[in-house]
Structure 1
């Protein structure tokens, strides 16, 4: 299992780095494919089969968000919410408001997260910031896994995710601050070590919250993994949940930090 995780993670890193190196179009395409696949898996978490119209609405919302040049504005989200909550009425109550809201949350979370990932490249020194963010998320996941397995101890939220530990969470947080900061100062332009540390801190905390939320959705749906696409990791959503959830907040933090000297 560990060997599969390492091989899959390594291949994933290579694909991401190549897409970043090829430029904006390649990066947008990669984010779009990953986000749409994650949305398909999110819809699949439902305990019942969704009607086609509801699923189509979800995919349209995610596509709209991903093709926007900046994260979707608040008034656009109000329109999206109204459309989703109108679906049960249009289908003569064959779908409940709760079911529509379930998919709405996924569409907003994945759509806004993907849109923020593509928008990060537009920030001054965008590719550096994006790389720091990816390092923070990857460091959190990797350190939390290995520290949690080796140290063990008290469970973080056993009712939601029985395998996650407090030691793993703390280890992931420390790694997300230290690794991006050190590598950022040594290998990337000197934007400011403390700025890298702030991004690492925010990304780790928000990413772990996002991971727990996805775990809660899976537990509600009675499944262990969102899919089987990635050997050793489960589905696409299992791999990008924290990355997408933290992206909007980190994007805003990046914009604020670039204005500081």
Structure 2
């Protein structure tokens, strides 16, 4: 299992870094593909097939979020909300209001997260800042896994995610602060170390909350993994939940702390 995790993670990091280096369009396409795949898995938790009306509406929301140059404003959110509320009526209750609300939550969470990832890339030194953010999330996941397995101890929230420990969570937080800060000081500017610490801290804390929220959704749906796309890691949503959930807040911090 560990060997599969390492191989999959190495290939994934290589693809992400290559997309970052190839420029904005390549990065947008990669984010869009990953976000749509995550949305397919999220919709399946609500027992909606990838070609269902709600799923297609969710893909359109994500496409607009990723490729539009306009900010995601109030008017857009109102239109999206109205469409998803109308779906149960238009389909004569073949889809429940609860299912529509579930998929709506996924479309907004994944869409806004994907939009934030493309906006980060557009910032001055955006590629480097985005890499700092990615390192924060990856460091959290990796350190939490190994520290949790090595140290063990008290469970974090056993009713939601029985394998996560307090020691793993703290280990992930420490790694998310130290590793990206070192990289940021070397690659961007030694004077911005406070920003790197703040970004790492926020990415780790908010990302872990996002991971727990997805675990709660999966537990409600009675599944262990959102999919089986990535050997040793589960589905695309399992790998991107933290990344997408924390991205809007981290983007706000990046622009506010400049």
TM-score interval (norm. to shorter): over 0.9
The CA RMSD measured in Å over matched residues stands at 1.4
Q: TM-score, normalised by structure 1?
A: 0.95
Aligned match of 1:32: 32
- Following superposition, the deviation at residue 85 of structure 1 comes to 0.8
Deviation at 1:51, TM superposition (A): 7.6
The alpha carbon displacement at 1:71 in A equals 4.7
8 A contact 1:70–1:115 mirrored in 2: no
Deviates further, 238-247 or 58-67: 58-67
2:88 paired residue number = 88
Matched residue, 1:6: 6
The separation in 2 between residues aligned to 1:216 and 1:180, in whole angstroms, is 29
Contact 1:70–1:116 at 8 Å: present in 2 too? no
Q: Tell me, what secondary structure is at the counterpart of 1:192?
A: helix
Q: Answer yes or no: is the 8 Å Cα contact 1:69–1:119 preserved in 2.
A: no
- Could you tell me which residue of structure 1 aligns to residue 134 of structure 2? 134
1:145 and 1:229 map into 2 onto residues whose CA distance is 20
Q: Distance in 2 between matches of 1:122 and 1:35?
A: 18
Aligned 1:212-223 pairs, distance under 5 A: 212-223=212-223
Which aligned segments of 4 or more residues in structure 1 are displaced greater than 6 angstroms?
none
- What's the offset of the Cα at 1:69? 2.3
Which 10-residue stretch deviates more, 199-208 or 62-71?
A: 62-71
Contact 1:71–1:116 (CA under 8 A) maintained in structure 2: no
Name the residue aligned to 2:246.
246
Kept after mapping to 2: 8 A contact 1:146/1:168? yes
- 1:99 paired residue number: 99
Deviates more, 1:155-164 or 1:63-72: 63-72
List per-residue Cα deviations over 1:39-71 (Å, max 9, x = no partner): 111111124658822221111111111112255
For this pair of structures, how many residues does the alignment match? 258
Asked if the contact 1:39/1:59 (under 8 Å) is kept, the reply is yes
Task: Determine the C-alpha separation between the residues in 1 that align with 2:111 and 2:50.
Answer: 19
1:31·1:117 contact (CA, 8 Å) conserved in 2? yes
Q: In structure 1, what is the Cα distance between the partners aligned to 2:222 and 2:243? A: 23
Alpha-carbon distance in 2 for matches of 1:189, 1:116 = 23
User: Does residue 1:229 correspond to 2:229, yes or no?
Assistant: yes
Give TM-score scaled by structure 2 length: 0.96
Going from structure 1 to structure 2, the CA distance change for 1:229 and 1:22 (only over 3 Å counts) comes to same
CA distance in 1, matches of 2:108, 2:71: 11
Distance 2:69 2:77 in 1: 15
CA distance in 2, matches of 1:184, 1:219: 37
